[in-house]
Amino acid sequence: MEGRQAVAIRILNAEPIGYSDEARAILRSVGELVEDRVAQEQLAGRVSGFDALIVRLGLRVTRDVIESADRLRAVVTGTTGLDHVDVAACADRRVAVLSLKDETEFLQTVAATAEHTWALLLSLVRRIPWAFDSVRRGGWDRDAFRGRELAGRRLGILGFGRIGARVARYGRAFGMSVGAFDAGSPEVAADVARFTSLDGLLAWSDVLSVHLPLDDTTRGLLGRERLALLPRGALLLNTSRGAVLDEDALVGLLESGHLAGAALDVLCDEQSPARRAASPLMRYVEAHGNLLITPHLGGATSESMRRVEIVMAEKLQRFLTTSHAS
């Protein structure tokens, strides 16, 4: 409106540690960038006065956060999954959610999560963390940490998207037979066996690698009965979202010896320290040597995070300059 002073755009980066300098420069070209490491309990009281909120996976953008904002127009998260953002609350308040969800071409170039999946598998089958810990304490007992080979074993991929397809290629390179099931995308690579049912894939897999989005159809998908379909001595990998599997059921199958081991990069309640500590998996791992847990490191490489932050800064730049002009 003529005669009214324009309100400067303000952006809050609530998880700024290690943030890309190139992305910062893009954001500062749009408006004022405030970088403040905000605790979860402080977030609702901190968003007032900002047009955009940037988070990673350490914070949950809940309904009370959205409803506390007086001028918020966008929540920005460099992730494909959005279970840490109340999307419905954002829609109710007409707050855009900017993510990597539809950045298909860019995501095809990102290898970090697939590489971490394979690092977990190799660490598990060759017992590397436990062997290293023993050596660090003065031990040198190779027989105590005898591993298992991957060549000739069957790798099942649950979810044959960009990450699942890349993990499948790694499996073939290691001499494994590879099969896949994806309810949403029946097409798989020519050198991958396509399963028409999840149960069929589970019963076949010596190693199951899970690459599913979290939604109403996948939450709790791998319960006790389904996990028990895996062959005795099978291994389970999950670098997608913790809530796709039943943690109590997984512990039970590890304790019984039905599953030889598991490696997880995610937990059901990983963002809450109290609930995370109460996870049956966290209790189990304290006393057993067949479970690996990492703190959602899949996409956390310097290269991938820098590129993601630049892409998301450019996406926010386009959104804010377009909406501000209108």
CA dihedral for 128, 134, 140, 146, sign (positive or negative): negative
Tokens read off for 262: 């598991």
**What pLDDT is attached to residue 322?**
84
CATH 3.90.1150.10 fits 10-107+303-325, yes or no: no
Q: What is the pLDDT of residues 287-303, one digit of tens each?
A: 999 999 999 999 999 99
326 — pLDDT class (breaks 50, 70, 90) = low
Report, as an integer, the average pLDDT of 110-129: 97
Q: Is the pLDDT of residue 309 over 80?
A: yes
Enter the pTM of the model. Answer: 0.89
User: In sequence order, what are the beta bridge partners of 34?
Assistant: 12
Q: Helix, strand, or coil here: 106?
A: helix
* Residue ranges per structural domain of the chain: 10-107+303-325, 112-293
Q: How far apart are CA 166 and CA 186, in angstroms?
A: 16
Catalytic residue among 153, 270, 307, 309: 270
Residue tagged active-site, from 56, 166, 241, 307: 241
28 is catalytic: no
Share of the chain above pLDDT 70, in %: 97
Q: Which two tokens stand for residue 215?
A: 């939604």
According to DSSP, the residues that pair with 178 across neighbouring strands are: 155
Alpha carbons 33 and 58: distance in angstroms, whole number: 19
Q: Is 11 exposed, middle or buried (0-12, 13-18, 19+ CB in 10 A)?
A: buried
Instruction: Give pLDDT tens digits for 168-189.
Output: 999 999 999 999 999 987 788 8
Mean pLDDT score of the chain, rounded to an integer? 94
Q: Say which of 56, 166, 296, 307 is annotated catalytic.
A: 296
Query: HSE-up of 86 (CA within 13 Å, CB side)?
Result: 13
Tell me whether residue 270 is one of the annotated catalytic residues. Answer: yes
| Cβ pair 224, 246 in contact under 8 A | yes
pLDDT attached to residue 6: 60
Tens digit of each residue's pLDDT (9 = 90 or more) over 227-285: 999 999 999 999 999 999 999 999 999 999 999 999 999 999 998 889 999 999 999 99
Taking the domain 112-293, which CATH number applies? 3.40.50.720
Distance from C-alpha of 241 to C-alpha of 296, rounded to nearest angstrom: 9
Decide whether 10-107+303-325 matches 112-293 in CATH topology: yes
Handedness of CA 255, 251, 193, 296 (dihedral sign): negative
